[in-house]
Homo-oligomer: A and B are copies of this chain.
Amino acid sequence: MTPEHTASEMHPSRWGDPAAATALPEATRGLVELALGVRDTPAASAVTLPAPSIDAAILDDFRRLLGDEHVLTEDDVRRLRTRGKSTPDLLKQRIGDLSDAPDAVVRPGSHDDVQAVIELAVRHHVALVPFGGGTSVTGGLVARREGFAGVLSLDLVRMKAAREVDTVSMTAVLEPGLRGPEAEALLAEHGLMLGHYPQSFQFASIGGFAATRSSGQSSAGYGRFDSMVVGLTVATPQGTLELGSAPANAAGPDLRELVLGSEGAFGVITAVKVRVKKVPAEKVYEAWQFASFAEGSDAMRHLAQNGLLPTVLRLSDENETAINLSSQDNVGGESVGGCLMIVGHEGASIAGRRALVTEALTSLGGTPAGEERGRAWAEGRFHAPYLRDSMLDVGVLVETLETATFWSNRDRLYTAVRDALSESLGEKSLVLCHISHVYETGCSLYFTVAAPQADDPLAQWDLAKQKASQAMIDAGATITHHHAVGTDHKPWLAQEIGPVGVSILRSVKAGLDPSGVLNPGVLIP
């Protein structure tokens, strides 16, 4: 049951499926012109890759192991494995900087293949960068080259099976190369689903979801990806690690939680046993309006703390609400004011729960704003990254970052990060925020910024990102709620977990990967 790899490749300097890309909607373009000014950027030019910097004899060893057709050095293939999809990644591709390209791409077909690739990489001291969907936004695909005989992209594209589908335990074993829709399609054959829908869903992979602790838009109902994982198979330089003897146990530290979020630095995840759900018979998405971000998010807190969470629960702040409403042609320009909340209910029979949530939201100051806006959100839920490309095309810097904290620290964190971004990006910038993941004890905050591009937009964003990141740590929050550490977040991870925490990561790394070939430079400060 291994499907062919049919998912489309992404454009190297843009998001997603080129056929799905759209020009900037007129309403948004008008807003952009008004607020930010427009500066058309040159179309991406054909860029030349640095020549592969690895001994041919080494590649021959990998060819003997995997077969010639699974060791690729073509420019197109290497370009598509260069960095991820953060705005800086796209900007670098646009200006022809492909200095982080891997020397070659290797495609193992099985756990044993991965194990053998790792052993060969250790022998030749070649760096390995595990590659799933290529959607990292934190520099997770940019390995350190210095000191290594070369850098190989370890593309998991051939590992796309769903195995051991267990409708009694409601679990399934998924291979790491499965992209979101591919995994859902295989599970749907059994009437099952995962329910993990990050914005990168259409391209990101099962292995990547686990390695980065991804969280999706239905996390209120189905949980973070890490909470869906009950077992893991990992190939490491020390051999195979198999974890997951029970849903939960007390057999020492939970080593699954050490692999989750390890970004390929400890080992390569070759199988993920996940908790699955029945495909819901009913789905409804509806909008609610609240007078303010504080009032709306207090209502979210009430739901989370009283066992009333719907499947989807999101709240835009005043700025994001204004932009969203003005940019969605299918909704029209009508403004509801205040803050828009999206509430989604999915399940076998949702009426009872929906009634309870409706009653609670009403009592907490919410006003129903219709299913039409809810549907519009659901239909456009994976589209924002395309919009970023269109904005970059017209000279607007667009990027996102996110954090999380406990409820009582929400306002302090919100203000600190918003102000850091606004101050750094200037008065012509827009800073939008939403809450898309809630817990009994706290919530995430997801910021989107738009600003006129400076002459050096990379430096412009780097400074803003530094200021915002430091604001998060200074506010006692996390450097990332659901986008991992990569290379970009390392200085702040070091502050977040402190020197003893960093020493633990280093001990584990030194024990599992003493020669350091696994994604060097990523995760560990």
Contact = CB atoms under 8 A, between A and B. Distances in A.
Contact of A247 (B250, B252, B439): B439
Interface string A236-280: 101111110111111111111111111100100000000100000
A408 B478 contact: no
Interface stretch (A209-217, A361-369, A456-464): A209-217
A333 interface: no
A443 to B, nearest CB: 8
B406 A251 contact: no
Nearest to A439: B247
A224 B249 CA distance: 9
Given A170-B305, A480-B249, A255 B497 contact: yes
A169 interface: yes
A497 B244 CA distance: 9
Given A168-B407, A169-B441, A441-B169, A503 B251 contact: no
A474 to B, nearest CB: 12
A504 interface: yes
A129 interface: no
A457 to B, nearest CB: 26
A23 interface: no
A309 to B, nearest CB: 10
Given A240-B500, A441-B170, A480 B250 contact: yes
A405 B166 CA distance: 13
B250 A481 contact: yes
B508 A250 contact: no
B261 A258 contact: no
17 contacts: A169-B409, A171-B406, A224-B248, A226-B254, A239-B499, A245-B476, A245-B477, A246-B442, A247-B443, A248-B437, A248-B481, A249-B478, A251-B261, A254-B261, A275-B441, A504-B512, A507-B511
A489 interface: yes
A147 interface: no
A505 B253 contact: yes
A442 B497 contact: no
Given A442-B169, A476-B245, A508-B504, A252 B523 contact: yes
A437 B250 CA distance: 13
Contact of A479 (B236, B251, B510): B251
Contacts of A508: 253, 504, 507-508
Interface string A426-438: 0000000000010
B404 A481 contact: no
Contacts of A476: 245
A483 interface: yes
Interface string A487-525: 001000100111111011111101110000000000100
A243 B441 contact: no
Contacts of A498: 240-242
A342 interface: no
A287 interface: no
A405 B409 CA distance: 38
Contacts of A242: 498
A484 interface: yes
Interface string A59-84: 00000000000000000000000000
Contact of A493 (B240, B251, B256): B251
A418 interface: no
A255 B500 CA distance: 11
A482 interface: yes
Nearest to A406: B169
B253 A166 contact: no
A183 interface: no
Interface string A138-150: 0000000000000
A296 to B, nearest CB: 16
Interface in A194-250: 212-215, 224, 226, 230, 234, 236, 238-243, 245-250
Given A249-B480, A251-B261, A255-B501, 19 more contacts: A168-B407, A169-B407, A169-B441, A214-B250, A224-B248, A240-B500, A241-B500, A246-B403, A246-B478, A247-B441, A249-B404, A249-B478, A251-B485, A251-B493, A253-B262, A254-B258, A257-B257, A258-B258, A275-B440
Given A238-B503, A239-B499, A258-B258, A250 B168 contact: no
Interface in A347-370: 348
Given A252-B485, A261-B254, A505-B252, A404 B239 contact: no
